[in-house]
């Protein structure tokens, strides 16, 4: 069975004080044992988050990484550095990276490979814009983003990914995809992955992201092909994020 994963993406938000608050709150609650929880914090908070959450089962992740291992790339952060600072997962291809920082499919693939080379779990983010959905291009866009990465990896590499479907029109807008809309795309992604093997498709965790909140998480997570959530805004409020984690159990 696929273990649900709830990942919080703080984006460029939060503070060391918030890291401490999360550490205290998570130390005091028992999370469902069958749910994996991860917090993707800004780079400077990685080590502090690892310490604050050290007594809990929550892992720490990063939000992006360089595609290069080291060198004269001012401002960049490598996979090995993330690993050394305690990250276990890293988001790759988030729509904000794709649109605001011009990361195309080739750039996304290079970052997935860099993460894999350092034993980080890449959480590959895919999703269509509202314009693409209205033009009935959702599957073409999403499956294109999937194939651009999975088609270029070998069998062992593919199995180490997590996929997050985040419709761009649902991110930070309060406009969540309906459970049926999300399930339809998740099923299409799983069908697409079946081309690489039934085992891969059956084992791959597919997260939903886009205005997931405490009050809509349960019905999204109840869908057969939704194996967790990638939570933005609600992951900055400890009670909301805890409630989402609990609803995945
Ligand atoms: P929101 O939950 O704020 O819509 O953000 C989703 C997201 O982009 C997570 O990566």
Ligand 1, closest atom to CA 170? 4
Going through the chain in order, the beta strands assigned E by DSSP cover 5-9, 36-40, 59-62, 87-92, 121-126, 162-165, 206-209, 228-231
CATH code: domain of residue 221: 3.20.20.70
Q: What is the pLDDT of residue 84?
A: 98
Q: What is the pLDDT of residues 192-244, one digit of tens each?
A: 999 999 999 999 999 999 999 999 999 999 999 999 999 999 999 999 999 99
Catalytic residue among 94, 96, 103, 128: 94
**CA gap 198, 181 in Å, rounded:** 23
Indicate if the pLDDT at residue 1 is higher than 90: no
DSSP character string of 187-237: HHHHHHHGGG-HHHHHH--EEEESS--TTTHHHHHTSTT--EEEESGGGGS
Domain that holds residue 20: 5-247
Question: What residue's CA is closest to ligand 1, atom 1?
Answer: 232
- How confident is the model over 152-185, as pLDDT tens digits? 999 999 999 999 999 999 999 989 999 999 999 9
The pLDDT value recorded for residue 40 is 98
CA–CA separation, 241 and 120 (whole Å): 23
Q: Measured over all CA atoms, what is the biggest interatomic distance in the chain, rounded to whole angstroms? A: 48
Residue 127 and residue 138: Cα distance in Å, rounded? 8
Q: Give the pLDDT confidence score for residue 246 in this predicted structure.
A: 96
Cα–Cα distance between 172 and 235 in angstroms, integer? 12
CA-nearest residue, atom 7 of ligand 1: 232
CA distances from 235 to 39, 139, 214 (A): 8, 28, 10
Strands 121-126 and 5-9: unpaired
Strands 5-9 and 228-231: parallel
pLDDT of residue 220: 98
CB neighbourhood size of 234 (10 A): 20
**pLDDT value, residue 69:** 98
HSE-up of residue 25 (Cα within 13 Å, Cβ side)? 17
For the segment 101-140, what is each residue's pLDDT rounded down to a tens digit?
Answer: 999 999 999 999 999 999 999 999 999 999 999 999 999 9
| Total structural domains within the chain | 1
Query: Does 11 carry a binding-site annotation?
Result: yes
Q: Is residue 232 a known part of a binding site?
A: yes
Rounded to whole angstroms, the Cα distance separating 215 from 212 reads 8
């Amino acid at each position: 069975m696929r273990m649900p994963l709830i990942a919080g993406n703080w984006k460029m938000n939060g503070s060391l004080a918030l890291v401490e608050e999360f550490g205290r709150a998570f130390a005091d609650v028992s999370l469902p044992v069958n749910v994996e929880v991860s917090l993707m914090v800004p780079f400077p908070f990685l080590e502090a988050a690892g310490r604050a959450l050290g007594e809990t089962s929550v892992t720490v992740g990063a939000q992006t990484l360089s595609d290069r291992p080291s060198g004269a790339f001012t401002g960049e952060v490598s996979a090995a550095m993330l690993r050394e600072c305690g990250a276990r997962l890293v988001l790759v291809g988030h729509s904000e990276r794709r649109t605001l920082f011009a990361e195309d499919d080739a750039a996304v693939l290079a970052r997935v490979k860099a993460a894999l080379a350092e034993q980080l779990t890449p959480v590959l983010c895919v999703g269509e814009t509202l314009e693409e959905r209205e033009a009935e291009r959702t599957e073409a866009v999403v499956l294109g983003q999937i194939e651009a990465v999975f088609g270029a990896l070998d069998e062992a590499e593919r199995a180490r990914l997590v996929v997050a479907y985040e419709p761009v029109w649902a991110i930070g807008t309060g406009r969540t995809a309906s459970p049926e809309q999300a399930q339809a795309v998740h099923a299409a992604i799983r069908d697409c992955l079946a081309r690489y093997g039934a085992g891969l498709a059956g084992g791959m965790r597919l997260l939903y992201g886009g205005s997931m909140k405490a009050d809509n998480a349960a019905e999204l997570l109840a869908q057969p092909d939704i194996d967790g959530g990638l939570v933005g805004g609600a992951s900055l409020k400890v009670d909301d994020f805890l409630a989402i984690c609990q609803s995945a159990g």
